[in-house]
Amino acid sequence: MTFSNRPASASLPFIKTDFPLFLAPMAGVTDPIFRTICKELGVDVMVTEFVSAEGILQAWERNRRYTKIEDAHRPIGIQLFGADGNHMGEAARIILDHEKPDFIDINFGCPVPKVVGKNGGSSLLKDLPLLASVAGGVVKAVGDRIPVTAKIRIGWDFQSLCAMDACRLLEDEGISMITIHGRTRSQQYSGTANWDIIDECARAMSVPVIGNGDISTPQAVAYVKENTAVSGVMIGRAAMENPWIFGDAKYYLLHGAMPPARDPQEKTDLILRHARMALESRHYGDELHTMRHMRSRILAYTKGFPGAKEMRSRLARVSSMAELEDLLSTLPRRRSLEREKSRPPGDSAGPASGMGGRPSSPSPSAPEKKCPFEGS
């Protein structure tokens, strides 16, 4: 190990492993149904979909669906966003009075215009004193009841990389753990994540730092563990397509090899189970509304799936469980094992330079070195 990873479990008692794997909070994705699936498949810690502090204060009952947690999902945090420290603190207190999360997470990283336009998410990276005020307001309101954590990006754009300053301010305000997504707000989800900056912050902070961005294979998890000082990794978009990544990464860390090839039928079965669970929960309403919501989930699951290319336009319009079952029944049941065996480990999205170092030639728009991984 190049660096000594600081165990997150040392300062966060709800974490039971030395290098935890987190499921990233994703609006419209990490609902209770998907969290159940990821928990079964090996994730260590989860965070709810983010919820607005103003929404909590003005329409608590309507927004409770975003904060509802189950004991089977623990450890789990509830993520808030907002730009007023007092309102954020009050919203955190309301949540603690009604729910029992293991921690409160503050969203300083969301890049979408809808959130940024309300002066939330990554917009606070342009105003670090305000960011510190918001963090301090939540920490003060919560007191010693549970830890408060935060998620940031490395800056607003490449001209204002501020991750180190933001981390120091957050630590000074009493934040117990910081997750860093290695892109700027201006990048959104394009380009590559800058793991040099994440690593520098992890080595400089006293609190655990969790790395996020471009972790799409078990090999990438192992690379980060061995070559950076982060205390764990957070996985988002890769889990949407392959929620098995958590268990596969643990297998790879333990054995140094990928687990046996997975039959595509397992993914087909999971798609059907996910849809049935969503219908039974009525989390999204009746069958039509549920299946409309499931369309994006189904397309994520079937991305790159053998034989699915011709089906994807039809899957994108599926409107009933019966229709979904019928469409999936036409997909090939098994992938050629010979083809699977011939594929080198991590071929789809492993470290860009094998298991070795990072790219040595930064792009003109990104003055720092980039993440050593490919993928989403």
Name the residues annotated as catalytic: 110
**CA dihedral sign, ordered 120, 130, 228, 7:** negative
Question: Which residues have C-beta within 8 Å of that of residue 121, sequence separation ≥ 6?
Answer: 81, 107, 108, 109, 110, 111, 112, 115
Q: What is residue 351's DSSP assignment?
A: B
Angle at 235 between CA 123 and CA 299, to 5 degrees: 95
CA separation for the pair 375, 221 (Å, rounded): 13
Question: What whole-number distance in Å separates Cα of residue 37 and Cα of residue 43?
Answer: 9
Distance between CA atoms of residues 309 and 335, nearest Å: 15
- Give the DSSP letter string of 98-156: H---SEEEEEE----HHHHTTT-GGGGGG-HHHHHHHHHHHHHHHTTSS-EEEEEEEES
Collapsing DSSP to helix, strand or coil, 17 comes out as coil
For the chain, helix (H) and strand (E) counts, in that order, are 16, 10
Q: At what angle do helices 264-281 and 32-40 cross, to 10 degrees?
A: 140
Rounded Cα gap, residues 216 and 375, in angstroms: 6
Distance CA 306, CA 317 (A): 20
**What is the enclosing helix (H) or strand (E) of 51?**
strand 51-52
